[in-house]
Structure formats: structure tokens, C-alpha cells
Structure 1
């Protein structure tokens, strides 16, 4: 399992988010499905091979809890932020994205469009 630290350089968090990095098609497809819960400083970072709106779309099928979704472009700027609910069919970002950060909903207020994000591979 590959891990990464995610930090908002524009609005620094008290602690970086430690997330699982999802690079393969199957890792991205599974995402957080079937997990019973999500701890406050956990999550996943989906890395898409191509930047785009449809490429960065997510679904919430088979999810048991709400999540904060933060879409990030290649330049590591936030392009959209949403509160996603279980069983929603699709969420598409407002602008093209390469990364999708899925984390605890308590982090929604820490991310805004145009924030600069630092991703450190562990």
C-alpha cells in the first residue's frame, strides 16, 4: 500500500492528511467502497492518468458514510470541493482534475477553490 501526505499550503491544517494513494484502475474503482467508517485524518488520493472532468468523476455506490471530495488539478490547485453522500450516482468536478482527495467531511471547511495543495509520497 502506497501512502501520501496531503497538506493545504494556502490554509494549513494542524496535521497533514495521511492518505492511501490509489494509482491503478482497480484501486481507483474500489476507492472507499465497503469500508465501515473513515477516521478524521484518513482518506484516499485517487491519481487519474489524464486530467479531465469525466475522468475525475466519482460515484458513491456501496458507500456507508459521507465524505469530503476535493478535486485537484495537475498544478496542485483545488478546482472543486463537495460534500458527497452515500449512494449518489455521480459527482463531476466543475473543472478538469487529475487528483481526487476523499477524506472525512470535517475537512470540507479547510479547502477552497484555488488553494495550493502539497502532496508528499511516503
Structure 2
């Protein structure tokens, strides 16, 4: 399991978000499904090999809790975000993205469209 730190360079966070970096097909498919809860300092970063809207669409099937979803493009800019609810069928970003940050809903207010994001692999 690889880890990554996420920092908003436009509106710096007190502490970077520490997430699990998911780049394989199975890691991205499994995501946060079936987890009982998500701690405020947890999350995952789904890294897609190609930038796009459908490639970074997510579902919330088999989820037990809400999450903040932040879509980030190849230039490391936020292109969309949403508050996702359990069992919702589909969330698609408005603009093409390469990364999907899924984290605690408290982080939703920490990002805005066009913010610059730094991703540091550990």
C-alpha cells in the first residue's frame, strides 16, 4: 500500500491530508466500499491512467457513510467537488480529471474549483 500527502497550495491546510494512493484497477474498483466508517484524517486518492470525465466517475454503492469528493486534473487543479451520499449510483465531474480524492466530508470546505493541489507520494 502506497501513501500520499495532499496539500491545497491555494488555501493551505493546517496539515496535509494523508491518503492511500490507489493506482491499480483493483484498488480503484474497491475504493472505500464495505468500510464501516471513515476517520476525519483518512481518505484515498484514485489515480487514473487517462484524464477524462467517465474515467473518474464514481459510485457510492455499498458505502455506509458520506464522503467529500474532489476531482483533480493532470495540471493538479481542482476541477469539481461534491458531497457524495451512500448508495448514490453515479457522480461524474463537470470537467475531465485524472485524480479523485475521496476523504472525510469536513474537507469539502477546504477546496474550491481551480485550487492548486500538491500530491506527494510517500
CA distance in 1, matches of 2:11, 2:34: 31
Q: Secondary structure of 1:80's match?
A: strand
TM-score, normalised to structure 1, is 0.99
SS in structure 1 of the partner of residue 46 of structure 2: strand
Match of 1:103 in 2: 103
Runs of 4+ in 1 over 6 A off after TM superposition: none
Instruction: State the SS of the aligned residue for 2:98.
Output: strand
Q: How big is the alpha-carbon RMSD for the aligned residues of Structure 1 and Structure 2?
A: 0.4
Aligned to 1:37: 37
Q: Which residue of 2 aligns with 1:53?
A: 53
Partners of 2:52 and 2:22 in 1: CA distance: 17
Distance 1:19 1:11 in 2: 19
Cα distance, 1:110 vs structure 2: 0.4
Query: How far does residue 41 in structure 1 lie from its aligned partner after superposition?
Result: 1.4
Between the aligned partners of 2:37 and 2:106, the Cα distance in structure 1 is 13
Alignment gaps of 5+ in structure 1: none
Deviation digits for residues 43-74 of structure 1 (CA, Å, limit 9, x no counterpart): 00000010000000000000000000000000
TM-score (norm 2): 0.99
Pairwise CA distance, 1:32 = 0.2
Note the alpha carbon deviations across 1:72-119, whole angstroms, 9 max, x for none.
000000000100000000000000000000000000000000000000
Q: Counterparts of 1:54 and 1:82 in 2: how far apart (Å)?
A: 16
1:62 aligned residue: 62
